[in-house]
Amino acid sequence: MLDWKSLHQTIDGAERILLSTHENPDGDGLGSAAAVYHYLNSQGKNCKIINISELPLEYEFLNQNKMIETYNSLTHMDWIASADLALIFDVGDYSRLGIIGELLNKHKIHVVNIDHHPDTGDGQFSENYINVDAAATGEMAYDFLKAMNISLSKEMAEGIYTGVMTDTGSFCYNNTNEKCHQIAIECMAAGVNTSLIYQTIYENRSPGQIALLAQILNNLDYNQNGELAWFTIDENMMEKAGATKKDIDGFTDFVRTIRGVEVAVMIYQNKPNSCRINFRSKGKYIINDIAKSLGGGGHKFAAGAIAPGTLNEVLQKVLSETKAALAHQNGHVI
Ligand SMILES: [Mn+2]
C-alpha cells in the first residue's frame, strides 16, 4: 500500500503546483492529471497542467476552462521555476518530460512521480509513488483521492474514468481487474457519461489515420509461425495518407487482435535517424524486456522504445531481439 497520506501532506505544504505527463500524452496521463487538478483546485492551490506536447483533439473534453496547457517558454518558464511541487503522472521515464523535466531539475523543484510503470531507477524523481499492479495511473489518482475520503466530483471522475478506460482497452485487456469495474461504477454514479467518452476518444478517427491503417494492413508481415506480426511506417506512408504522428496510436493493439498473433510490433520512423517501437502481447510472451534491451521499457504486455538508426537498421535489430526472446520464452505459458 502506498502512503497516500504522506503525499497529501506534501501537497498541503505547497502552494504552486505543476502537473504534467509524458510527451504524446494519452488518456491515462491526461485523465489522471485532470482528476488531481480538479481536486487541487478545489483546495485553492495555484496549479497548472503543462505538457510538452499538444493536447490531442479527442481529449479536448478534459480541457475545461483551458486548464491543460502546452509548454511555451514565454509563459511557462518562470512559472515552473517558482513552483513548489511537481506531480508527474504515468510518465514511465523522466526523459519523457522533455524540457519540463530539465527545468524542474535546474530549479531543484520537488518532483513526485505517480506511475504504474516500473521505476526506471534513474533517480531523477524526488519521490516515487509506483504501483505496477495498478491497471492505470487513473486508478492511482482514484486511490490518492480515496485515501482522504474525497467524494468524486463529476470532473474528477471523468479524468479517472478516462485513464482506466483507455489503459484497459475499454475494460478488455488482461490488466482489467475488479477494481477497474468498481471505479467505473463510482464514476458513473458521479455522473460520467461513459458512452460519450468512449465515442469521443475512439469513434473520432481522422480519415488520414484510416488511410494509413489501410497501408499497414496491406503490408503486414508474420514470423514465428504467425505468432509475431509486425509492420513499419515511414515518412512516405505518412505523407501519402495525410496522417500525423498521433494517428499511429492504437495500430499495434489492432494488429494484436489477429487470430494466432501473440505479439504485435510496430516500427515507426519518427525522425530521419530514429524509430519508435511499440510492442503488444496477448499474454503468452512478456515483451517489456525486449523493449528494455532496445533502450525503452513499459509493462509486461505493452511496452515501447525509441531507438537510433534508419528504419531498416532498427527493423533488423527489433526482429532479431524479438525472435530470440520469443524462442527463449517458448513453452513457458505465463
Ligand atoms: Mn498508463
Domain ranges of the chain: 4-202, 207-329
The 3-state DSSP class for residue 127 equals strand
Give the DSSP letter of residue 190.
T
Classify domain 207-329 by CATH number: 3.10.310.30
Domain pair 4-202 / 207-329, same fold: no
Neighbours of ion ligand 1 (CB under 5 A): 28, 90, 137, 167
- Grid coordinates belonging to 263: 505479439
**Residue 235 in grid coordinates:** 515518412
Buried b (16+ CB within 10 A) or exposed e, 156-175: bbbbbbbbbbbbbbeeebeb
Distance 225 CA to ligand 1 centre (A): 31
Specify whether the CB–CB gap between 160 and 138 falls below 8 A: yes
What 8-state DSSP symbol labels residue 41? H
Distance (angstroms) between ligand 1 centre and the Cα of 103 equals: 24
Q: From the CA of 265, how far away is ligand 1's center (Å)?
A: 19
Its pTM stands at 0.88
CA of 131 to the centre of ligand 1 (A): 11
pLDDT the model gives residue 137: 98
- Write 105-109 long-range contacts (CB < 8 A, 24+): 106/81, 107/80, 107/81, 107/82, 107/83, 109/18, 109/80, 109/83, 109/84, 109/85
Question: pLDDT tens digits, the chain, 334 residues: what are they?
Answer: 899 999 999 999 999 999 999 999 999 999 999 999 999 999 999 999 999 999 999 999 999 999 999 999 999 999 999 999 999 999 999 999 999 999 999 999 999 999 999 877 778 999 999 999 999 999 999 999 999 999 999 999 999 999 999 999 999 998 999 999 999 999 999 999 999 999 999 998 999 999 999 999 999 999 999 999 999 999 999 999 999 988 998 999 999 999 999 999 999 999 999 999 999 999 999 999 999 999 999 999 999 999 999 999 999 999 999 999 999 998 644 4
How far is Cα 133 from Cα 2, in angstroms, rounded to an integer? 12
Report the alpha-carbon distance of residue 199 to residue 197 in Å, rounded.
5
Which one, of 291, 231, 297, lies nearest residue 92 by Cα? 297
C-alpha 310 to ligand 1 mean position (Å):
28
Residue range 4-202, CATH number: 3.90.1640.10
